[in-house]
């Protein structure tokens, strides 16, 4: 499988970098530059396998989540994966459209995690890094962002609309308190723990409102992006000024360090998730019938 990457910029609001990439590394043991590029070269046998597997996944792969699904099928089936950097710029979506893209990706990711537990529950000693054919073109930071007020309103609205679900994953009310603190900041631990808690609810609670799960998760993601913007703006103010300075390069390194830090937090939470998952599986196992 050849994966085409269209990203020339390192984006502040990137579903690939803030959600898909850390999960691919910590759950599937694969490090990929741009897992949601949407361009592939697939061999005939792999296409046949996907065509056979697809109907069993239903609506979860009929939207933007198809990219994550194809890549994780390749990883689960031990296909060789390489990546080609094709350049390209970030396409700006409205916040409403971006929220829909996030929800569809999140639904596919949760469903893949649910079905692939035999793969990711194993302890990993090695991380596979895709071979990359790259143009000689330096990445640049992306300054395209949504208005902070819009992100905060979406965050607050999602909390208000899903209070019952929020009480399950956040009994201490930490997310509600964040909305009244200026500047707004949600750290990586809080974001990852909430995401994994919602994942547990999605998989093991038959009575849970799936629409509510992804609505709340989208709002929390907007809060995380807002926190990312706040962190980058504070860092940018500390950069040296004057001739010879390279602010773009420094910002790019900062963005990459945030991605690495977020991935490390996923790794930190992974053993607890494995343990909780195994316990829930044991509780949900049907009784033996003689």
Between the alpha carbon of residue 8 and those of residues 81, 110, 248, 249, the distances in Å are 20, 28, 13, 13
Radius of gyration (C-alpha) of the chain in whole angstroms:
20
Nearest to 8 by CA among 71, 82, 91, 64: 91
Provide the pLDDT for residue 10: 54
For the chain, domain boundaries: 2-284
State the CB neighbour count (10 A cutoff) for residue 168.
14
Provide the pLDDT for residue 39: 86
Provide the pLDDT for residue 211: 94
What are the backbone angles phi and psi of residue 31, rounded to the nearest 5°?
-110, 115
- pLDDT tens over the chain, length 290 residues: 888 876 655 555 578 888 999 999 999 999 888 888 888 899 999 999 999 999 999 888 888 999 999 999 999 999 988 888 777 666 677 889 999 999 999 999 999 999 999 999 987 767 888 777 765 555 666 655 678 899 999 999 999 999 999 999 999 999 999 988 888 999 999 999 999 999 999 999 888 889 999 999 999 999 999 999 888 888 888 877 766 567 777 888 888 888 899 999 999 999 999 999 999 888 876 555 55
Rounded to two decimals, what is the model's pTM?
0.90
Handedness of CA 59, 60, 62, 63 (dihedral sign): positive
| Whole-angstrom distance, CA of residue 50 vs CA of residue 165 | 35
Nearest to 173 by CA among 184, 161, 159, 157: 159
Q: If you search the block for the tokens 């993601």, which residue do you land on?
A: 221
Q: If you search the block for the tokens 């741009």, which residue do you land on?
A: 34
């Amino acid at each position: 499988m050849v994966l085409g990457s269209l990203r020339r910029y390192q984006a502040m609001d990137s579903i690939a970098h803030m959600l898909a990439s850390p999960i691919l590394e910590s759950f599937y043991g694969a490090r990929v530059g741009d897992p949601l590029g949407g361009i592939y070269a697939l061999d005939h046998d792999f296409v046949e396998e996907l065509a056979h597997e697809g109907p069993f996944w239903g609506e979860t792969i009929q939207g933007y989540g198809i990219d994550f699904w194809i890549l994780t099928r390749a990883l689960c089936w031990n296909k060789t994966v390489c990546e080609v950097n094709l350049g390209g710029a970030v396409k700006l979506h409205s916040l409403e459209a971006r929220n829909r893209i996030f929800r569809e990706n999140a639904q596919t990711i949760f469903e893949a995690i649910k079905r692939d537990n035999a793969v990711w529950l194993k302890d990993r000693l090695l991380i596979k890094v895709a071979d990359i054919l790259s143009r000689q073109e330096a990445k640049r930071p992306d300054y395209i962002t949504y208005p902070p007020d819009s992100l905060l309103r979406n965050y607050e609205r999602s909390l208000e609309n899903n209070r019952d679900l929020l009480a399950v994953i956040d009994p201490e009310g930490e997310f509600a308190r964040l909305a009244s603190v200026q500047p707004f900041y949600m750290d990586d631990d809080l974001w990852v723990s909430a995401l994994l808690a919602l994942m547990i609810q999605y998989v093991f609670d038959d009575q849970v409102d799936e629409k509510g799960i992804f609505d709340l998760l989208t709002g929390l993601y907007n809060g995380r992006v807002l926190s990312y913007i706040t962190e980058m703006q504070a860092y940018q103010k500390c950069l040296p000024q004057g001739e010879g300075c390279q602010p773009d390069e420094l910002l790019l390194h900062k963005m990459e360090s945030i991605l690495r830090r977020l991935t490390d937090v996923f790794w930190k939470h992974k053993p607890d998730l494995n343990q909780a998952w195994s316990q829930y599986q044991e509780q949900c196992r049907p009784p033996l019938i003689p």
